[in-house]
Amino acid sequence: MKRSVRIKIISMGNAETGKSCIIKRYCEKRFVHKYLATIGIDYGVTKVTVKDKDVKVNIFDMAGHPIFYEVRNEFYQDTQGAILVYDVTDRSSFEALDSWLAEMRNEMGNQVEADNITVIVVANKIDRKRVVDETEGRLWADSKGYQYFESSAQSGQGINDIFQALFEGVVSALENGGKKIPIQTQLGYTKDQIEAIQKLKNAKSDYDRLGLQLGATKDDVNKAYRRLAVLLHPDKSVAPGSEEAFKILVAARTTLLKKCS
């Protein structure tokens, strides 16, 4: 006989990122173009089979708009899984991810419980012209230890993968006595590499990019260059963004060497 379990899932993320559409696409296999803001919270139930278990899934689809905070804040308790959604065409929705995690932690109260929630980061609306690239999204998710998926609720792309990963994560945690199983990072790259890439991409000056002070000598520049080149050479590094960062590195070195002479 199959054992049956109940789980609680929530959706988080800014208003209009597509949370309700993602859930609707998964549960009802359809898409609604017109924006119908969720008022406070929507509740739904679905049944799935995960790892040979019948699972009754309670879905609490939250409203992203700040005015509904007072309504949704009561629904964080006892959550086991969450989709944390941003819209790849809207940078502010990506930048808001940290504040959603903060709200969740705050409302959960119990930090151990919060740490054991399976969170899936969802980059939605990939059918449209994006302003947040895949690398940024993946890096953010990796840095939190969450799985990352891209989706289009409009076309259906990626939707099943999100929920499969979510349910498997939650059920695995349940089987493990409520403790989340750390995700297998398919990383193959190090934190040093990630930090070097972010620095190269975001620094304000070429000196900053190479970690040098104003007035650095040719020798300093070449040393810094070699250290970073070994870390980021696209033939060796599989860290997302390596290729772009490497190009920035080469350009920064060229500029700085000219300044030194």
Strand, coil or helix: what is 238?
coil
Q: How far is the CB of 100 from ligand GTP (least distance, A)?
A: 11
Residues 6+ apart with CB under 8 A from 161: 149
Residue with smaller CB distance to ligand GTP, 80 or 151: 151
Q: Which is nearer to Mg ion, 12 or 248 (CB)?
A: 12
CA angle 42, 46, 49 (to 5 degrees): 150
Residue 257 touches which of Mg ion, ligand GTP, none (CB < 5 to 8 A by kind)?
Answer: none
10 binds, among Mg ion, ligand GTP, none (CB under 5 to 8 A by kind): none
- Smallest distance from Mg ion to CB 119, Å: 18
C-alpha distances out from residue 147 to 83, 88, 137, 144, Å: 10, 17, 10, 9
User: Whose Cβ is closer to ligand GTP: residue 58's or residue 157's?
Assistant: 157
Binding positions for ligand GTP, rule: CB under 6 A: 15-21, 32-33, 35-38, 63-65, 124-125, 127-128, 152-154
Of 23 and 117, which CB lies nearer to ligand GTP in the complex structure? 23
72 binds, among ligand GTP, Mg ion, none (CB under 5 to 8 A by kind): none
Q: How far apart are CA 239 and CA 191, in angstroms?
A: 9
**Is 147:183 a contact under the CB 8 Å cutoff?**
yes
Q: What does each C-alpha distance from 34 to 18, 90, 184 come to in angstroms?
A: 11, 18, 38
Q: Give the shortest CB-212-to-Mg ion separation in angstroms.
A: 48
- Residues 217 and 260 sit within 8 Å (Cβ to Cβ): yes
Coil, strand, or helix at residue 168?
Answer: helix
| Contacted entry of ligand GTP, Mg ion, none for residue 197, CB cut-off 5 to 8 Å set by kind | none
Q: Does 79 interact with Mg ion (rule: CB under 5 A)?
A: no
Binding pattern for the stretch 2-41 against Mg ion, x by CB under 5 A and - elsewhere: -----------------xx-----------------x---
Which of 150, 235, 140 lies closest to 194, judged by CA? 140
Site residues, Mg ion (CB under 5 A): 19-20, 38
